[in-house]
Amino acid sequence: MHERISKKVIVSTDCPEIKKVALKAGSEVVDRPACLATDTASTVTVIDHVLKVLPEQEIENIILLQPSNPLRPRNLLNTAFQTFKSGDYDSLVTVSRSYQKFGRIQEEKFIPLNYKFGQRSQELQPLYYENGLLYIIHVDLIKKGKILGDKNYAFIVDHPFAEIDIDEQVHLDYAEYILSRETWKNNL
């Protein structure tokens, strides 16, 4: 049996324009204080602030959708939530596999980390990265200052949308390009 996801959307922002759009769309808005509207403010601190300013409500889980990762495959949220609820998990994070050969530079010299020189990328041990598409967090973890707990579930997303993380203009341009493609319009 599928458990229903609450349709309550809460937007935390300090931007009047974003607030206006969110309210028009029917979302609840929490005014973010200046100290939490910085490049160094942590996500967990922002979510904790939201929980503290909301009227006393029974909230069991938080579903975090980061605005820097605006494109998500169709049904990702429902499928991930059903997976989360079907196990004894305290959190879920979407991840994608990296096929990159990583290394560090020491004294101007490149030192491989996850491979040996000459090794084919197909032979690499799988490494994964948080793609930022979706987090599901039990509210108790937020109160402890955590996004991921020890009983987290790594939900693998193998989709081009997982590569879109908008931090600079070129990333926004790429996202707009993807959205303009007829192929992807049915995947949203």
* Same domain flag for 79 and 39: no
Q: What is the pLDDT of residue 1?
A: 44
* Same domain flag for 123 and 95: yes
Q: Which domain holds residue 47?
A: 7-59
Q: Is residue 188 part of a domain?
A: no
* Same domain flag for 109 and 157: yes
Q: What is the CATH number of the domain that holds 165?
A: 3.90.550.10
Q: Is residue 126 part of a domain?
A: yes
pTM of the model: 0.84
Q: What is the mean pLDDT of residues 141-170?
A: 93
Q: Is residue 92 part of a domain?
A: yes
Q: Is residue 165 part of a domain?
A: yes
Q: Is residue 86 part of a domain?
A: yes
User: Distance between CA 143 and CA 150 in Å, rounded?
Assistant: 15
Q: Tell me the percentage of the chain whose pLDDT exceeds 90.
A: 65
Strands 103-106 and 109-112 turn out to be antiparallel
Q: What is the mean pLDDT of residues 114-118?
A: 87
User: What is the per-residue pLDDT across 55-78, written as a single tens digit (0 to 9) for each?
Assistant: 767 788 999 999 899 899 989 999
Q: Is residue 2 part of a domain?
A: no
Decide: residue 115, CB within 10 A, 0-12 exposed, 13-18 middle, 19+ buried: middle
Query: Chain-centre distance of CA 11, in angstroms?
Result: 15
SS3 for 143? helix
Last residue of a domain, one of 59, 80, 99: 59
* Same domain flag for 155 and 103: yes
Q: Is residue 98 part of a domain?
A: yes
* Same domain flag for 107 and 157: yes
* Same domain flag for 102 and 23: no
Domains: count for the chain? 2
pLDDT at 141 over 90: yes
Q: Is residue 118 part of a domain?
A: yes
CA nearest neighbour of 133 among 172, 182, 95, 176: 95
